[in-house]
Structure 1
Amino acid sequence: MLITSLTNPTIKMLRALRQRKARDEQGRYLIEGIRLVGEAIQCGAPLEMIIVAPDLLTSSFAHELVEHYIAGGGRVLTVSAEVLGSLASKEHPQGIIGVGRARYTPLADLVAGVNGWVALVDVADPGNLGTILRTADGAGFSGVILIGSTVDPFDPAAVRASMGALFSQQIARAGWDELLAWRQARSLPVIGSSDRGTVDYRTATYPRPLILVLGSERQGLSDEQLAACDTVVRIPMRGRSDSLNLAVAAGILMYEITRDT
């Protein structure tokens, strides 16, 4: 059955997932595009269904992807190009959107890896969060811990920027005090980053696994949070700029921490 009505009840519920309130209420989110849907399937991410617009789906790989998903018992919702366009956050959609089920890993269930985790405190930009997820995956970190009011990792911009790392990285949510208690129980070192840090990031010692803590784009880490870190590193600035983009800084630090691996 081809859905062509923009007012179809199912479509209206799915369209609402472009807003965080609906994602939180429904526990679902949208995955746009052939590559990301393919990554979700290959990583075994929990999917509720795939939405397909036959008139837009011209890629042979995409058709094979849909057939593979159906063969595995997956549900496919067929819609018109107009309906799919109303669900997409970007122009010129590729004809396929996945509906994922949001999944967080409790702190107690996080699996230890060689390098550790990145903890983000009150990070506001979904693009930064998605990019950090992607870099954490590339650098061999186990996952990302979202502290306080850090943005939704299932925001369309975060999903897109993660380039599939959202489906392979462990993601936890916690309060600051919860993080400290978990860190103490596991005897994990905490490395903070701040322009007030006294240690050049290139000369610091990084015992692993560790927790790399990064603060918000505007405020950084508070005095209390910096005091809880075992080491606070800084990235020297040599030009007129007084800071780096958060995701860029995170990438520099993650690769420095793992430089000898």
Structure 2
Amino acid sequence: MRPVSLGFVAGIFTAAVVAIGFLQLPQHGASNASSSSASSSLSSLSSSSVARPSIVTSIKHPLFRRLRSIQTGVGKAQEGAFLIEGETQILAALDAGYPLAEIWMAADAVSSRIASKLGSSQNGSTVATIMLTQGLMKKLFPSGKCPDAVGVATTPILSLESVGLGNSKSLILEDIQDPGNLGTMLRCAEAFGVTHVLCVMTNHTQRLFSRVVIRASMGAIFRLKLSVTGTAKTAVSYCRRNGIRLVASTPHTNRTLSDCVPGSQCAYAIAVGNEARGLSETMLEGANETFCISMRGDVESLNVAVACGIMLYQATLGDVL
């Protein structure tokens, strides 16, 4: 009897994954109440109205053209979706129950871990698996390392009024510009017990769900309760109306975090500002307390992500607020 080749086995496995993906079309627009209204355009091309080939081989295929468009800021906004790159981040999103619509994998590099997770995950039945050639995957990422898989996630509703802030310790990030800093701060927030993060920023669809932010957050972006508002005034007003003490970081004070009413049991939010300008006057004037990080030597400032980590760690130690 002639032995079965590994290539033949891999081919059977790939075909099985493709079949699973094609039979289980995404229903994210109807089943996930937190998805944005813009996801209707994503659903139209993810539905059975577009013929799904056994493998996408052409850059002109409508599914692939849409996938490429989501890499751009305009495409993200129009489709109500963003991309998750690589097996590690896709698995983190699946574990968190994040609303994924599709997972794209190169036909010659199928992820057994993703396939296994789809089979066991409660949300796996709503995620379509689509195969494409390795050449097309490289077209998506012409520079740098090509990921082993790409997920398409529905952009959730991030309204402050809908998501809110937590009943204990929350974090407010105002106009953080560097995506690496932003992702690291989200990671620090989760590490030190924060569940709710409010981002004060404009154009959040492009900025918050960029590839760098997602990678730097190491999955925290999928697990945190995120909200967005465009102005500091809205953030301050929300805190006042909901009895949340606003504690603002600034170098222009001698008070430290431990000076801000130790032992208080009320809800509070730590506000951290822009890398160059810090917090806005609106945020500082609306704060109940201001504090700084005590430093030694001739160092004038710290990287904002490092500073944020120190603040959250100090807040965690002994529950100083």
TM-score with structure 1 setting the length? 0.90
Please give the per-residue CA displacement for 1:53-91, whole angstroms capped at 9, x wherever unaligned.
13123x542342344469624211111112123334873
Which structure has the larger Rg over C-alpha atoms? 2
With over 3 angstroms needed to count, the CA separation of the structure-2 counterparts of 1:164 and 1:27, relative to structure 1, is: same
Match of 2:306 in 1: 248
Q: 2:183 aligned with 1:130, yes or no?
A: yes
Q: Alpha-carbon deviations, 1:223-255, whole Å to 9, x = none?
A: 332121111111133234311111111111111
For residues 19-98 of structure 1, what are the structure 2 equivalents within 5 Å? 19-57=72-110, 59-68=111-120, 72-88=125-141, 91-98=144-151
Which whole-Å CA distance do the structure 2 matches of 1:71 and 1:110 have between them? 25
- Give a deviation string over 1:140-198, Cα, whole Å, max 9, x none: 11221111337521111111111111111111111222212211111110011111133
Aligned to 2:225: 170
Aligned pair in 2 of structure 1 residues 201, 90: CA closer, same or farther (>3 Å)? farther
Answer yes or no: is the 8 Å Cα contact 1:106–1:172 preserved in 2. yes
Which AA in structure 1 matches 2:225? Q
1:106 aligns with 2:171: no
Structure 1: gaps spanning 5 or more residues: none
More deviation, 37-46/107-116: 107-116
Which structure dedicates a bigger proportion of its chain to helix?
Answer: 2
Which residue in the other structure is 1:7 paired with? Answer: 60
Give me the CA root mean square deviation.
2.3
Whether 2:274 is the aligned partner of 1:221: answer no
SS in 2 for 1:258: helix
Write the letter of the residue equivalent to 1:147: V
Structure 2 segments unaligned to the other structure (5+ residues): 1-53
Q: Which deviates more from structure 2 when the two are superposed, residues 116-125 or residues 4-13? A: 4-13
1:190 to 223, 246, 260: 246
**In 2 relative to 1, CA 104–251 (structure 1 residues): closer, same or farther, beyond 3 Å?**
farther
Where relative contact order (Cα < 8 A, 6+ residues apart) is larger, the structure is 1
Matching residue's letter, 1:190: L
Report the alpha carbon displacement of residue 130 of structure 1 after superposing the two structures with TM: 1.1
Query: What are the equivalent positions in structure 2 for 1:130-149 lying under 5 Å apart?
Result: 130-149=183-202
Other structure's SS at 1:141 match: coil
Tell me the residue number matched to 2:17.
Answer: none
1:3 alignment partner, SS class: coil
Q: Which moved more, 1:40-49 or 1:228-237?
A: 228-237
2:212 counterpart of 1:157 = yes
Task: Decide whether the 8 Å contact of 1:121 with 1:150 is kept in 2.
Answer: no
Query: TM-score, with normalisation over the residues of structure 2?
Result: 0.74
1:200 is matched with which residue?
256
Where 1:239 maps in the other structure, the secondary structure is: coil
**What is the identity, as a one-letter code, of the residue corresponding to 1:153?**
L
Report if the CA contact (8 A) 2:55-2:131 is conserved. Answer: yes
1:81–1:95 Cα contact (<8 Å) kept = no
Residues 123 and 180 of structure 1: CA distance in aligned 2, closer, same or farther (over 3 Å): same
**Is the 1:115–1:258 contact (alpha carbons within 8 Å) kept by the matching residues of 2?**
no
71 and 129 in structure 1: CA distance in 2 versus 1, 3 angstrom threshold: closer
